[in-house]
Chain A
Amino acid sequence: MADTRTIQVTVNGRPHRCQVEPRTHLVDFLRDELGLKGSHLGCEHGVCGACTVELDGRIVRGCLTLAVQADGAQVQTIEGVSESGVIRDLQQAFVAHNALQCGFCTPGMLMAAKELVETRPEATRAEVREWISGNYCRCTGYHAIVDAVCDVLHQRKEARS
């Protein structure tokens, strides 16, 4: 057994104190240690975006981030944001527009979309395409995902005005 480090990390609002190997990636830690299977492994080299999670409020690739880097940090996963309801409108829009087929990319796609709608409320359709172009989807052709995200941008704008 390799050396381990103790980390204290708050995941979806719940504090954890865990022993992890320094080499353990954040997404493996979330999946294997905490049983949070919603973050997926698509490529394990930072390209596909299926493992996207929030670390201290910014999205990161769970496969390029080590669990030890989350020591002292707040992590949000698809399970957490589903439970809190902060992306319910995005989730509903994805269902309404059929913006997912196999669903394997969807948690990562939603985490990326969450940051977009929160930080770029005025994003155009082209900017939505650009923003989610770090998340690979083989099924949909992206059109419906773009529709769904644009729909939520519009809904939130309406709600503000």
Chain B
Amino acid sequence: MKRDVVNLEPGVESTPPIAPVTEDPRYIGARLPRHGIERLTQGQGQYVDDIELPRLAHVVYWRSPVAHMRIKGIDDRIARSMPGVLMVATGQDLAKVCKPWVAVLGHLTGMKSAPQYPLAVERACWQGEPVVAVVAETRAQAEDALQHLVVDWEELPLTVEMERALASDEPVIHPELGDNVCFSRRLDVGEVDRVFAEADVVAETTFEFGRHTGVTLEPRSQIAHWQPAEQRLTVYHSCQAPHMMQDLYARQFDLPAHAVRVICKDVGGSFGVKVHAYPDDFATVALSMLLGRPVKFVADRLESFTSDIHARHHRVKGRIAVNRDGEILGFEIDDLTGIGPYSMFPRTSAIEGNQVVNLVGGPYRHQHYRAQLHVVFQNKTPTCQYRGVGHPIACAVTEGLVDLAAQRIGMDPLEIRARNVIPDDAYPATGASGIKLEVLSHEACLRKLREMMNYDALRAEQAALRKQGIWRGIGLATVIELTNPSAAFYGIGGARIASQDGATVRLNPEGHVTVLVGVGEQGQGTEAIYRQIAADAVGVDIDQVRVITGDTDVTPYGGGTWASRGAGIGGEAVLLAGQALRGNILKTAAVILNREAGQLGLHRGQVVDAVTGEALLPLSEVGRIAYFRTDTLPQGFTPELMVTRHYAQRDYPFIFTNGVQASYVEVDPDTGFVTLLKHWAVEDCGRVLNPMLVDEQMRGAIVQGIGGALYEECLYDEQGQMLNANMADYLVPMAAEMPDIEVAHVMTPTRSSRLGAKGAGEAGTAGAPAAVMNAINDALAPFGAHVHSQPITPEKILRALGKVK
């Protein structure tokens, strides 16, 4: 029997082919190893800490040891006299050269925050806030001197617990703001009370999400180099958004933007941690300007834990209304999140909660939804966007409630999802929260998952093992993820963060191609996919393409890497530029050959006769004549063999992707230990540009999500002291505990671009915590126990089982 005959349901057995975007597709969509990573396997990467410059000085920061203090005095006499010390600087010193900032967005109505400085001025508001800078000839000398700095402080009253932040007797962290509210939002689409009152079943619970952090293996690091003779600032920065940082440095230091160059070489992991502007980023620049020499800052791991952004600290009361037949009628949530004492610059710390409001219930076709959000200040490390931004919360709340409802009405979890997802033929659609969904494939993904994990057999195995006292659970999570953002994310709110991106593609004299792109590389394989796209778009062998990113002096202006935009936005710009260059090459060849451009084609490095395919002119000849023998070209014709194109996604606020994940776990009811047996993910990121890279994005993101679900939490005491600020005590996922992860793809290209690619970098993190939580609760179901507090530790499981008090 032929394969296409047995394939009864589209999307189940094989992904339907999607039309190629180029004439001779050889690389787009191919499972190609990433070019250029051999050097990383040989220790030849160049991360910021690997860079040495003449007269390089090193800064270390004295950070507040307490969560809230008034700085009474700083005695640096001994520190200044220590060997090698070049400068000791305070908040007041640096405030003279760097303006303070207030991180709010205009479209988040009513949002407020307080002015923040490179180093604390008068007060420090969290444990880890930088207060004093010590610069020396070597890092060791700076650290030695730091020990001799004497800071006199007075502890101030604290607001630590977010649940207490709004209480009338709680200290207000910034009195001028009136209260500890950063941002509030209420969304009510109407008739929610009626729908809940009339529903057959209402299930409700409270979800908790532990504050956690990114733990990039390469810490945040930076070299600021102010060159007084040129009046120019060069910053080598381990970051995701070089042009954003260029703009911020220029504005905070009153420099013209052209006087600032930001260079990103290899970046040792980012995940959102490195997309924000930190106080010590500005402090390091200020020190370089004051000293007139390059200054290097590399966070050590201990200070990373209290100065890198944290994320995800939410308490969400949620309820769901369903009918006995499984129809989901509505959701309601009340989300409280604590973000530290300041909203983070420039993206703000209200986005995560705002996303939760937008995304809860997102996969489903219910019509009723009400949400309330309070974003509050507290004396802990600031939180901000971290891989997935609100999605892991929204997904866990949604999917946790769906499972509770399914349990209450006795319906299979896969069945209730299949009945309620917005059908694949119903797009474009608008979710109950108002989110615009271009085109999704929940039904196809659920079918594929069922087949891939052999769902029915796994349920049978689970049932059989329960009889032997082995408690396994299967957890599902349907996911939506926003990618390819328009200016709706930041631009409309006044943040100067580009939503467009550009690519320049150049034919070199030898017939090779150089590509410059505004979006950079932090390990995702961005440069690799640009190479694939450019090779196909122009029509050359991939080994003749070189990609350059990460230098604001060199690349087109762009937003960089965030909100899963590298493939969809940057990739589209490369495609458009490559295709335009191809057109210009053919125009040049037509002049050289005295033919009509329309009669010519470009095939694998040769200009060919479009009809016969006969090779007429190699690109090396086009390049030779265009660059060196312009005397042979007619007057009035100039070859344009370098082309720039830009792309901004403007059809929708965001292009949503979707997918579904499943987790299979075993819970030991005596110890509370969870063993992750297997994880599956079906994702739809539109056109897959390189399945090998997408698979690894999914797997890495899933493991990052599992970290938050099971292990990771920044634990604080009531004095606002982080108790586990080191890698031994803060638990990150390591290889031994992680499951094998199977990934499959459904491809529903976006029509907002020629390339049709959507983002793939965050969906794994979005869905994994929900899938794992649901799997654990499925395993605990025979005991009548539930855990909705992440990280789901053995202790919490034993409490749920009533085995410990």
Whether both chains belong to one complex is answered with yes
Chain A residue with Cβ nearest B41? A91
Q: Are B41 and A138 in contact (CB under 8 A)?
A: no
Q: Which residues of chain B are within 8 angstroms of A40 by Cβ–Cβ distance? A: 47, 49, 217-218, 268
CB contact under 8 A between A95 and B216, given known A1-B83, A102-B522, A133-B736? no
| Minimum Cβ distance to chain A for residue B79 (Å) | 17
B490 contacts A by Cβ under 8 Å: no
Q: Which residues of chain A are within 8 angstroms of B46 by Cβ–Cβ distance? A: 37
Q: Looking at the complex, which one of A41, A45, A104, A143 makes contact with B740 (CB distance below 8 Å)?
A: A143
Q: Are B266 and A45 in contact (CB under 8 A)?
A: no
A34 contacts B by Cβ under 8 Å: no
| Minimum Cβ distance to chain B for residue A21 (Å) | 8
Q: Which residues of chain B are within 8 angstroms of A37 by Cβ–Cβ distance? A: 43, 46-47, 49-50
B229 contacts A by Cβ under 8 Å: no
Residues of B664-715 contacting chain A, CB below 8 A: 692-693, 695-696, 699-704
| Minimum Cβ distance to chain A for residue B255 (Å) | 30
Contact with A along B126-159 (1 / 0, CB 8 A): 0000000000000010000000000000000000
Q: Are A98 and B693 in contact (CB under 8 A)?
A: yes
Q: Which residues of chain A are within 8 angstroms of B47 by Cβ–Cβ distance? A: 37, 40, 104
B168 contacts A by Cβ under 8 Å: no
A154 contacts B by Cβ under 8 Å: no
A38 contacts B by Cβ under 8 Å: yes
A7 contacts B by Cβ under 8 Å: no
CB contact under 8 A between A107 and B525, given known A42-B217, A143-B699? no
CB contact under 8 A between A101 and B524, given known A37-B50, A110-B41, A129-B738? yes
Q: Which residues of chain B are within 8 angstroms of A50 by Cβ–Cβ distance? A: 217
Residues of A81-113 contacting chain B, CB below 8 A: 82, 91, 94-96, 98, 100-107, 110
| Minimum Cβ distance to chain B for residue A123 (Å) | 13
Q: Which of B83, B734, B764 has the most CB of A within 10 A?
A: B734
Q: Are A136 and B217 in contact (CB under 8 A)?
A: yes
Q: Looking at the complex, which one of B38, B41, B734, B737 makes contact with A136 (CB distance below 8 Å)?
A: B734
Q: Are A102 and B736 in contact (CB under 8 A)?
A: no
Q: Are B43 and A79 in contact (CB under 8 A)?
A: yes
Chain B residue with Cβ nearest A63? B301
Q: Are B43 and A38 in contact (CB under 8 A)?
A: yes
Q: Looking at the complex, which one of B40, B214, B301, B523 makes contact with A42 (CB distance below 8 Å)?
A: B301
B245 contacts A by Cβ under 8 Å: no
Q: Are B726 and A45 in contact (CB under 8 A)?
A: yes
Q: Are A44 and B300 in contact (CB under 8 A)?
A: yes
> Once bound together, how far apart are the Cα atoms of A132 and B704, in whole Å?
17
Q: Which residues of chain A are within 8 angstroms of B267 by Cβ–Cβ distance? A: 102
Q: Which residues of chain B are within 8 angstroms of A95 by Cβ–Cβ distance? A: 33-34, 37-38, 41
CB contact under 8 A between A145 and B41, given known A98-B692, A101-B700, A103-B268? no
> Once bound together, how far apart are the Cα atoms of A133 and B734, in whole Å?
5
| Minimum Cβ distance to chain A for residue B32 (Å) | 10
| Minimum Cβ distance to chain B for residue A90 (Å) | 8
> Once bound together, how far apart are the Cα atoms of A100 and B524, in whole Å?
9
> Once bound together, how far apart are the Cα atoms of A137 and B271, in whole Å?
13
> Once bound together, how far apart are the Cα atoms of A106 and B42, in whole Å?
8
Q: Are B42 and A79 in contact (CB under 8 A)?
A: yes
Q: Which residues of chain A are within 8 angstroms of B33 by Cβ–Cβ distance? A: 95-96, 98
Residues of B199-235 contacting chain A, CB below 8 A: 214-219
A78 contacts B by Cβ under 8 Å: yes
| Minimum Cβ distance to chain A for residue B125 (Å) | 26
Q: Which residues of chain A are within 8 angstroms of B735 by Cβ–Cβ distance? A: 128-130, 132-133, 135, 137, 142, 145-146
Q: Are A138 and B700 in contact (CB under 8 A)?
A: yes
> Once bound together, how far apart are the Cα atoms of A47 and B45, in whole Å?
22
> Once bound together, how far apart are the Cα atoms of A153 and B42, in whole Å?
20
Chain B residue with Cβ nearest A78? B43
Q: Are B703 and A142 in contact (CB under 8 A)?
A: yes
Q: Which residues of chain A are within 8 angstroms of B726 by Cβ–Cβ distance? A: 43, 45, 47
> Once bound together, how far apart are the Cα atoms of A146 and B696, in whole Å?
12
Q: Tell me the dominant secondary structure on chain B's binding face.
A: loop
Q: Which of A31, A95, A104 has the most CB of B within 10 A?
A: A104
Contact with A along B246-277 (1 / 0, CB 8 A): 00000000000000000000111111000000
| Minimum Cβ distance to chain B for residue A10 (Å) | 18
Residues of B257-311 contacting chain A, CB below 8 A: 266-271, 298, 300-301
Contact with B along A15-58 (1 / 0, CB 8 A): 00000010000000001000011111111111110100000000
Q: Which residues of chain A are within 8 angstroms of B300 by Cβ–Cβ distance? A: 44
> Once bound together, how far apart are the Cα atoms of A100 and B732, in whole Å?
18
Q: Which residues of chain B are within 8 angstroms of A140 by Cβ–Cβ distance? A: 696, 699-700, 703
Residue total for B at the interface (Cβ-Cβ under 8 A): 58
Q: Which residues of chain B are within 8 angstroms of A13 by Cβ–Cβ distance? A: none
B44 contacts A by Cβ under 8 Å: yes
> Once bound together, how far apart are the Cα atoms of A22 and B505, in whole Å?
53
| Minimum Cβ distance to chain B for residue A136 (Å) | 6
| Minimum Cβ distance to chain B for residue A105 (Å) | 5
B547 contacts A by Cβ under 8 Å: no
> Once bound together, how far apart are the Cα atoms of A43 and B50, in whole Å?
16
Q: Are A82 and B42 in contact (CB under 8 A)?
A: yes
Q: Which of B34, B268, B728, B764 has the most CB of A within 10 A?
A: B268
| Minimum Cβ distance to chain A for residue B92 (Å) | 31
Chain A residue with Cβ nearest B216? A138
> Once bound together, how far apart are the Cα atoms of A40 and B669, in whole Å?
41
| Minimum Cβ distance to chain A for residue B597 (Å) | 39
Q: Looking at the complex, which one of A31, A106, A146 makes contact with B40 (CB distance below 8 Å)?
A: A106
Q: Are A78 and B728 in contact (CB under 8 A)?
A: no
Q: Which residues of chain B are within 8 angstroms of A141 by Cβ–Cβ distance? A: 696, 699-704, 738, 741, 764
Q: Which residues of chain A are within 8 angstroms of B616 by Cβ–Cβ distance? A: none
Residues of B720-741 contacting chain A, CB below 8 A: 726-728, 732-738, 740-741
Q: Which residues of chain A are within 8 angstroms of B42 by Cβ–Cβ distance? A: 38, 78-79, 82, 91
| Minimum Cβ distance to chain B for residue A126 (Å) | 8
Q: Are B45 and A103 in contact (CB under 8 A)?
A: yes
| Minimum Cβ distance to chain B for residue A59 (Å) | 15
Q: Which residues of chain B are within 8 angstroms of A42 by Cβ–Cβ distance? A: 217-219, 301, 727
Chain B residue with Cβ nearest A147? B740
| Minimum Cβ distance to chain A for residue B364 (Å) | 28
Q: Which residues of chain B are within 8 angstroms of A145 by Cβ–Cβ distance? A: 735
Residues of B38-62 contacting chain A, CB below 8 A: 38, 40-47, 49-50
Q: Looking at the complex, which one of B43, B523, B734 makes contact with A101 (CB distance below 8 Å)?
A: B523
> Once bound together, how far apart are the Cα atoms of A72 and B736, in whole Å?
35
Q: Which residues of chain B are within 8 angstroms of A36 by Cβ–Cβ distance? A: 43
Residues of B3-46 contacting chain A, CB below 8 A: 33-34, 37-38, 40-46
Chain B residue with Cβ nearest A103? B40
> Once bound together, how far apart are the Cα atoms of A16 and B87, in whole Å?
34
Q: Which residues of chain B are within 8 angstroms of A137 by Cβ–Cβ distance? A: 217, 735
Q: Which residues of chain B are within 8 angstroms of A39 by Cβ–Cβ distance? A: 43
CB contact under 8 A between A48 and B271, given known A42-B301, A101-B523, A136-B732? no
> Once bound together, how far apart are the Cα atoms of A105 and B734, in whole Å?
12
Q: Looking at the complex, which one of B522, B732, B736 makes contact with A130 (CB distance below 8 Å)?
A: B736
> Once bound together, how far apart are the Cα atoms of A138 and B699, in whole Å?
11
Q: Are B734 and A100 in contact (CB under 8 A)?
A: no
Q: Which residues of chain A are within 8 angstroms of B728 by Cβ–Cβ distance? A: 45-47
| Residue contacts A-B, CB under 8 angstroms, 21 given | A37-B43, A37-B49, A37-B50, A40-B268, A41-B49, A47-B728, A78-B43, A82-B44, A91-B42, A102-B266, A102-B268, A103-B41, A104-B217, A104-B268, A130-B735, A133-B737, A136-B727, A138-B269, A138-B700, A141-B696, A141-B702
5 other A-B residue contacts (CB within 8 Å) besides A37-B43, A103-B45: A42-B727, A47-B727, A95-B41, A102-B217, A133-B734
* Chain B residues at the A interface, C-beta cutoff of 8 Å: 33-34, 37-38, 40-47, 49-50, 83, 140, 214-219, 266-271, 298, 300-301, 522-525, 692-693, 695-696, 699-704, 726-728, 732-738, 740-741, 764
8 tightest A-B CB contacts, nearest first: A38-B43, A103-B40, A102-B523, A104-B268, A101-B523, A141-B699, A78-B43, A141-B703
